[in-house]
Structure 1
Amino acid sequence: MKYTNLGRSGLVVGRLGLGTMNFGLHTPEPEAHAIMNLALDKGVNLFDTANTYGAQLGEGVTERIIGNWLAEDPARRDQIVLATKVYGMMGLKPNSGRLSAFHVRKACEDSLRRLRTDHIDLLQVHHIDRTTPWEETWQALDLLVAQGKVTYIGTSNFAGWHLTKAQEHARRRSTPGPVSEQSVYNLLERTVELEVLPACRNYGIGLLPYSPLHGGLLGGAVLRGTADGRAAEPKSVKQLKRHHDRIAAYEKWCADLGLPPARVALAWLLHQPGVTAPILGPRVAEQLDQGLAALKVSLEKGQLKELDALFPGPGGPAPEAYAW
């Protein structure tokens, strides 16, 4: 495993993180425990989850699975950087979601209980809240840090100007602000290159790309001939039809290189400036092993240009991407 700092912070994380979105939804608890064991053995230390994962409203299924794994061997807790999220609806009551001080406090307490720990290393705001003032949200987050229940704050699904607003509000409060942003970023979806990635690099916010294989489409979907996993979802099937020729050309390019498509897609992300650690979301242990192999792939400048030709980005950062 290769390691780097999480943004401008002193926290050190592996260049690939373990995403747990499938745990409890597609991956039974015993298999999820096996994947976490393998990840720990391979040097993965960033374990990412969310209170809403598990597809059962308010149950926090995935957090419970991780909590049970931590309880099996308490020594595991200090070996991982435990990250979860707050924002999503955890019930049907009016204050069961979003970023009010009321919900942020309760959601954190509930996550701590499910995860069976006394602190969260990285609490990520899962989405912007268009109804709650930033002053209120930061007050709640700062209090959790002061209480020792949270160590670092991160964001997810923020636009570039949201990151700026969050960082400047934190600066006025003389607090560090977010050290990470988790956004969708892959060869097929490069919108973050316009403003999110430049904002992250300017503020020293580490980018944690999720969906690095675009729901499985960059993992050999055409070659397999049949959709499976997330690639079988209606949205992914529609995307595959739309991008079929381009993905087919990509898979041939990877075959000529002698590498699996998934490995190349992850390696491409690892070569992008500002990217800290793509988040892998394995359903089975074999997928984790395959993903970690991307750490050994070095792409030359010419190969990166060929990938840009196959999957053009927006043209660089704004405004040069569309103006001058």
Structure 2
Amino acid sequence: MDVPTDAPEHCPGTQSEEAGKTSGCAGCPNQQICSSGKAKEVDPAVDQIRIRMLPVKHKILVLSGKGGVGKSTFSTCLARALASDNFGREDGDNQFNQKQVALLDVDICGPSVPTMLGLQNEQVHQSGSGWSPVYAEDNLAVMSIGFLLGSADDAVIWRGPKKNTMIKNFLRDVDWGELDYLVVDTPPGTSDEHLSVVTYLNKAGIDGAVIVTTPQEISLQDVRKEIDFCHKVKVPILGVVENMSAFVCPRCKTQSVIFPPSTGGAEKMCQDLGLTLLGKVPLDPLIGKSCDEGKSFLEEAPNSKATLALMEIAKRIKGMCENRSKLER
């Protein structure tokens, strides 16, 4: 095991005899586990999850440093787009080949995916091969802690280790079956949930992260931290999505900028950092309404500018994942 991601610069390292014992270790959140020697041990769940994930072709993380940027909304739209019939046919091929997709919600304290997919009253069942996910469509499986709560109003008041265990269970014990895409919706920030997902999926292989932001600088500041997180834990970044980039009036079709990009928005940030801007998704009131009602926005408004943008972004992500697979062969 390497030096913990949140370790200070003067960390002696988990393999050192001084691990957790030097004066510089005082106050470090990893001090107790380092001094016990357990940090040198490899969690057997890592290999178990690698084996469980063998039938999963592509794994995509959806990240954002800032809450309220529409990350979960984007995750559900991305999963629906990948599972739609439009993605069941290869370019130039008329043969039907529907993709198998799963959406994993690891926002332990704020699970909103069940509501967005109209699955609030569903429950997880145990089978001989593990937990059975809930299905939003025949080819769209979903797992969330929201399915395990007695009520949608129940608060999840857990410390890091318990969150870590739940994420481990989601990845190791859920019978995902053969999948073309596993989309992982994460909470805002760069904390316990993110480290757990990256640690457990490390050997299984992560195609990359999609980072969601809004145009204003206050959002971009936190997104830059998320980008730095990806670099430090060696997760490839597929690209950045600028959500709520502008408002398009549903009647007159006039476009208005609600969140002015005072520093150039996601486009300028991507240019500065050498990242790919996957696309810009305009504000559309029907997106919020569709999510509240558990309906597919892509089907409710198939010709809207937001739907066209989301579908194009999904196609670009699909192409990146498939190209990555070809390079690895």
* Short-chain TM bin: 0.3 to 0.5
Calculate the TM-score normalised by the size of structure 1.
0.39
If each structure's helix is expressed as a fraction of its own residues, which one has the higher value?
1
Calculate the TM-score normalised by the size of structure 2.
0.39
If each structure's strand is expressed as a fraction of its own residues, which one has the higher value?
2
Structure with higher Rg: it is 2
Higher relative contact order (CA 8 A, sep 6+): 2
